[in-house]
Amino acid sequence: MPNRDANGRFIRKEGKGIEINILLPPLSRVLLWGLILLILSPWIIMIARLEIWKKVLIKFMMLFQFKEDENEPTKKNGLFG
């Protein structure tokens, strides 16, 4: 923990540059997730190749597309071309 002054503010140590902390997960967790991914990879590849999956993705894309009605005139105030 960095030192603090009487008001509770952090004190910068003299002669110390920038300190960067990078937190990495433990090696056991990385190996566990790698093993799970290796075991599930055949099923992941099979699901990705299915036509049903492509249809589901197309339905999601259609769901999130917003169409403007062609019948409604666009409202312009003359400021934007």
- Amino acid occupying residue 24: L
Looking at per-residue pLDDT, the higher value among 16 and 62 belongs to 62
- Amino acid occupying residue 13: K
Cα dihedral across residues 37, 42, 47, 50: positive or negative: positive
Residue 78 pLDDT greater than 90, yes or no:
no
pTM here?
A: 0.42
In tens, the pLDDT along 1-53 reads 667 888 888 887 776 677 788 999 999 999 999 999 999 999 988 887 878 87
CA separation for the pair 39, 59 (Å, rounded): 29
CA separation for the pair 31, 19 (Å, rounded): 29
Radius of gyration of the chain from Cα atoms?
28
Domain that holds residue 44: 27-63
Domain membership of residue 55 (yes or no) is yes
Q: What is the pLDDT of residue 73?
A: 61
- Number of structural domains found in the chain: 1
Domain membership of residue 52 (yes or no) is yes
